[in-house]
A and B are shown apart, each in its own frame.
Chain A
Amino acid sequence: MDRLDELEAQSIFILREAFARLKHIALLWSLGKDSNVMIWLARKAFFGRVPFPAMHVDTGKKFPEMYAFRDRYAKEWNLDLIVEQCPPIDSVDPTLPPAARSAARKTEGLKLALAKHGFDGLIAGIRRDEEPTRAKERVFSPRGVEGAWDVRDQPPEFWDHFNASPPAGAHLRIHPILHWTEADIWAYTKREGIPIIPLYLARNGKRYRSLGDADITFPVASDAATIDDILAELDATKVPERAGRAMDHESEDAFERLRTAGYL
């Protein structure tokens, strides 16, 4: 087994555990590279079909290419697609800064969808290498009734035994690709021939590394016109690229923490 085989086998194991131990689950499909890999893994785990809904919590502000991708592959992959709209931005606290306000809108949309469908588990495509707090996540991660994550009181999780009994009213987030890196995602996408949204590939010296709302997602300088190019690009960075990005915008926070520790 090579590294991708090991990653795949572990993810399939996790998906099967989620399906076996929870009653009513859905897979969060953001249409991005990570959740597309996750759907592919689910089809492998369940021999060609995804036996639970794929849910797109839609901000209504995605790129046109993303909606086209969703509509085409929901059909081709025979997905039980649920699309839930986020509440209008007017309904979210206007005193929040723009990015936080946008995030709050998505959180609200997810909360509404959870309440509407009564899911006890949501499969989400986060990865440990994306962001420092995500590195602390469990594979089966309990969320409070309000959907909050209590990082101070996470249950122990070891030997691939998961805490799968959410308290009444709460739900679990299941993270089948937590142990993957961005490079793993691309290498696997290439090996398996998983379709991607073309925005990830460079055009005129720019490409998108992650896809979100069209108005707050920006391309990066890149000449990577193929997945091989992307892999070479990622290999050339000295730091796992998402961690590098997190550091960049965490610097200010780090100084805050130096201050609170008594340095001022």
Chain B
Amino acid sequence: MNMLAPQSTFVEAAASRPLVRIVIVGHVDHGKSTLIGRLLHETGSLPDGKLDTLKAVSARRGMPFEWSFLLDALQTERDQGITLDTSQIRFRTRTRDIVLIDAPGHAEFLRNMITGASQADAALLLIDAAEGVRDQTRRHGYLLHLLGIRQVAVVINKMDRVGFDQGRFHAIEAEIVGHLAGFGLTPTAVIPISARNGDGVASVTPPIAWHAGPTVLDVLDRFSAAKPATDLALRIPVQAVYKFDERRIVAGRIEAGRVSVGDEVVVMPRGTRARISSIEAWPVPNESQAPRAASAGQSVGLVFDEDIFVDRGDLIAATAAPAAAAQRLRARVFWLHETPLAVGAALTVRVGMAESRGTVALIDNAVDPGQLSASGDGRINQNSVGEIEIALAKPIAADLYADSPRTGRLVLELSGRIAGGGLVLSLETAATPARDAAPSLAALEALAQRLNAELRTLPPAGRIRRFREAVEGRIVFTTSFGLEDQAIAHLVAETGVDVEVATLDAGRLFPQTYEVWAATEQRYGLRVRAFYPDHDDLEALVAKQGINGFYDSKDARAACCHVRKVAPLNRALAGARGWIVGLRADQSAFRGEGGIVSVDAERGALKLSPLFDWTREKVAAFAGAHNVPINSLHAQGFASIGCAPCTRAISPGEPERAGRWWWEQEGKSECGLHARLR
């Protein structure tokens, strides 16, 4: 046991030493393990005899001793000489307790590098003097920036391999300083070292006498721990509301600012206001010791003076500087999933404790930060970065990264697994549209009102033409090849307007539907763009509820509709400003509430129902007169046709949509495309 080793004079007393977490990154084989081994030795952190034992073993085996053997001897999960996952090693310098986070240098393990680096206060970026700046050097540098790490020292290693050449050092220094400056990062220091020989690690040795300092240990002693953002406006993401007793305690960690009993706060995204009546804690021996104030970094429990609605995902904010209720986010993101991120991708977006489904509406500047040029195919590949705009299914509270970093960054989840993250560059609320973004809700409503008045007197073809003129941006016509949709397909083809035709292939459609789909493409010479369910989501759904589980409960049915229809629709409509559908007012009471043109507030789009005021008979007559291909099931008593297991024929006199999810006793017979199921 080494626990009773004599007291070292190297360190100061424990209480006065700050704890600093430092990640060590860089290209694979540029010497991270060697530097760590050397640092452990130079700081006297190795157990007695460890070094001698390893040296003896190496000598016995006729191998030159390598400092990296030390790390190998400390780690069990090593393979092919590369660190698979982040590890952590603790040691002490003169003035600091250091947690050294050893991040893998191999590109394949970038997710592990990010996991490790995200915990760090500062970083050492290691470069091999012989190899120079490589792709992982650049990639890691950029990711340090995206992770918000501002203290970075560049360590140029293996100077012995280039004869301690000062010119070589300065060339690499210029290249890496230029690269880091590209995203506003200035290194704390650039240090020439030979980790193997010890030059530059603890002291400036004769071979690098031209270096004015500092050494690696000097910079470790200068790095400071990140401080909680107590000076920013108050932000407390709500983790939960507890009602264990008569108190209703709102629990969360203060990410920024301070809060005191009596303060008025605003709960976003709804904007409800309330006052803090108490800050709860346990154990509290008596009332006079109950906390009156708290600040960033603390996990707290708050009680409000009024019984306002608060739930997990809400953000408690300062009334003077509230967070936004974001409907759409623009973010600079890194992407770690093997499936490239593309426009139309449906993801879960998390900001603080808030989460929403979101659809990628736009991708800009996709680039592999390891390479020097852009990828150019409009997708963000694994381990690459880019800027995205993401339309959220519901508003969530968020900040700009520049205003409040901890509530201004987001995490992207694909199929329940974290797949990327990024910084919020700009955002859009329903009330305040960003530049070049969707029109405001008020503007949409005004336009809808105007168009409704205008279109009432026009025939359906005229309505489609006028809609095309009035809406700026993409318009998508979604068809399920029912009678109305077929009439609209005919009109779209006839008018020749620039409208995309899309369908949602849920995978459970009638064979007759596929027949009329093919017939439609042939008749009008167009290709209908099909959107399919996400395979991960669908596989999970079927695993959970079985292949026909939708008959079991309304929730199960809604879950099925969501995966098979609503999510694909969201992708079909991502970024669209106009949406054409086959709704008619007399289909159901619910559908009669809309108009020829209505506003889809969630998507920031206008919805046109060109046949809104037509009857079914009128549509049928139109189709017959123009020889429009129609689904043969209509002749067998099917009125509204959806997925095969969930649609049956109706009897004369039954409501038109009575054949949809007929076994459900109540509800609106909607899958959620036109009304969100709650």
Contacts and interface: CB of A to CB of B under 8 A. Distances in A.
Contacts of B147: 158
Contacts of B249: 47
A47 B297 contact: no
B299 A181 contact: no
Interface stretch (A27-35, A54-62, A161-169): A161-169
Contacts of B53: 251
Interface string B229-243: 000000000011010
A221 B61 contact: no
A238 B8 contact: yes
A135 B88 contact: yes
A220 interface: yes
Contacts of A181: 90
Interface stretch (A3-11, A87-95, A104-112): A3-11
Interface string A234-264: 1111111101111110110111011001011
Nearest to A137: B85
Contact of A168 (B57, B244, B312, B543): B543
B593 to A, nearest CB: 36
B299 A16 contact: yes
Nearest to B83: A136
A129 B90 contact: yes
A96 to B, nearest CB: 19
B14 interface: yes
B336 A253 contact: no
B85 A151 contact: yes
Contact of B76 (A132, A158, A222, A238): A132
B4 A236 contact: yes
B589 interface: no
A16 B75 contact: no
A161 B418 contact: yes
A43 to B, nearest CB: 6
Interface stretch (B112-120, B390-398, B452-460, B487-495): B112-120
Contact of B45 (A12, A239, A254): A239
Given A3-B19, A236-B4, A253 B301 contact: no
Interface string A39-54: 0000111111101000
B88 A128 contact: yes
A17 B19 CA distance: 25
Nearest to B66: A258
Contacts of A163: 416-418
A158 B422 CA distance: 11
Given A158-B421, A159-B421, A236-B4, A261 B112 contact: no
A261 B81 contact: yes
Contact of B4 (A13, A20, A233): A233
Interface in B59-94: 61, 63, 69, 72-78, 81, 84-90
Contact of A5 (B73, B281, B298, B544): B298
Interface string A123-143: 000001100110110100000
A221 B5 CA distance: 12
A13 B281 CA distance: 14
A51 B240 CA distance: 13
Contact of A9 (B2, B77, B299, B418): B299
A239 B61 contact: no
A144 B50 CA distance: 37
B405 to A, nearest CB: 10
A99 interface: no
A255 to B, nearest CB: 6
B86 A136 contact: yes
Interface in B288-303: 295, 297-299, 301
B343 to A, nearest CB: 23
B299 A244 contact: no
Given A154-B85, A236-B4, A253 B418 contact: no
A209 B147 CA distance: 38
A233 B90 CA distance: 17
Contacts of B47: 238-239, 244, 247-248
B328 interface: no
5 contacts: A43-B283, A48-B244, A128-B88, A155-B418, A237-B4
Interface of A: 1, 3, 5-6, 8-10, 12-13, 16-17, 19-20, 43-49, 51, 128-129, 132-133, 135-136, 138, 151-152, 154-159, 161, 163, 165, 168, 181, 183, 209, 220-222, 233-241, 243-248, 250-251, 253-255, 257-258, 261, 263-264
Counting from the closest, the 6 A-B pairs by CB-CB distance are A165-B416, A158-B118, A254-B73, A156-B111, A12-B299, A161-B411
